[in-house]
Amino acid sequence: MSTVLDLKGVTVRRGSTTILDSVDWQVNEGERWVVLGPNGAGKTTLMQIVSARMHPTSGTAHILDETLGKVDVFELRPRIGLSSAALAERIPASETVRDVVLTAAYGVTGRWREEYEEMDSSRAQSLLAAFDVDTLADRTYGTLSEGERKRVQIARALMTDPELLLLDEPAAGLDLGGREELVGALSEIAQDAASPVLVLVTHHVEEIPPGFTHLLLLGHGTIQAAGPLEEVLTAENLSAAFGVELLVAHGGGRWLARAARGAARQARH
């Protein structure tokens, strides 16, 4: 099994703040990881490192058999699909949905005078269809609902046929229906053996799609626990990471978490 990500002692400091502290993390071919942790734990910073958009202050990051600091990041980045709030903000509201996906082939947002091949156009169209937004292809991005935008962003992240797909909080801001549709779509990707290695960042265990295999629990810049999902996603580990006593339930491939004290109060009534 080949290693897709291998982080050793990755530390990120800004001034006197240590954002990531000696993170060791290995991700192998075929795995589907969830990165879970509270606000400010360092999840987005970790995604910045593994998407080759930030260098660690110390430690080493091997990504797709390349080493950060020794590789031309402009050659490495197209091999990594990234969907994040920061990238989404750069998509022009006036861009057509089709072009939002198509322009990823050149790593740009906003179509100018690039020439696209028929193969690119048909790939963009089939990705839009895979996320059930192909009927919106001629609409402008600014007119889409938040749920539709999220699905277009993920289609865009897949446009370059990446070897690694990073999804930073894809369900943030979605209503219940939108979240469930997205979880369903991500579950299909996770269960498709042809999909790239996946890393999904979230705050909520309810957003973990069936088919994800591993979990990294991050708290205050350090790894609290990492490994196979069912071994790591325990009430004890989750309570330690979020600093609140939590109960965890698992059924039908999905996860639930709630405060232990609230549950105890309910049980008394």
User: How far from the centroid of its chain's Cα atoms is residue 117's Cα?
Assistant: 28
**CA triple 151-104-65, angle to 5 deg:** 100
Helix residue ranges per DSSP H, the chain = 43-50, 73-76, 85-88, 97-102, 118-130, 146-158, 176-191, 229-232, 235-242, 260-268
Among the listed ranges 14-22, 106-114, 207-215, 233-241, the one in contact with ligand ATP (CB under 6 A) is 14-22
CB of 44 to ligand ATP, least distance (A): 3
Q: Which residues contact 89 (CB under 8 A, 6 or more apart)?
A: none
**CA-only gyration radius of the chain, Å:** 19
When binding is defined by CB under 6 A, the residue of 17, 138, 176, 267 that contacts ligand ATP is 17
When binding is defined by CB under 6 A, the residue of 10, 36, 42, 209 that contacts ligand ATP is 42
Tokens of 187: 């579950």
How many residues bind ligand ATP (CB under 6 A)? The answer is 12
- For position 44 contacting ligand ATP by CB under 6 A, the verdict is yes
Closest to ligand ATP by CB, 37 or 178: 37
Long-range CB pairs of 249-252 (<8 Å, 24+ gap) are: 252/210
- For position 124 contacting ligand ATP by CB under 6 A, the verdict is no
Asked if 35 and 55 touch (Cβ cutoff 8 Å), the reply is: no
Closest to ligand ATP by CB, 19 or 97: 19
Among the listed ranges 22-30, 35-43, 94-102, 243-251, the one in contact with ligand ATP (CB under 6 A) is 35-43
- For position 268 contacting ligand ATP by CB under 6 A, the verdict is no
- For position 50 contacting ligand ATP by CB under 6 A, the verdict is no
Closest to ligand ATP by CB, 42 or 162: 42
**Residues at the site binding ligand ATP, with contacts judged by CB under 6 A:** 14, 17, 19, 37, 39-45, 203
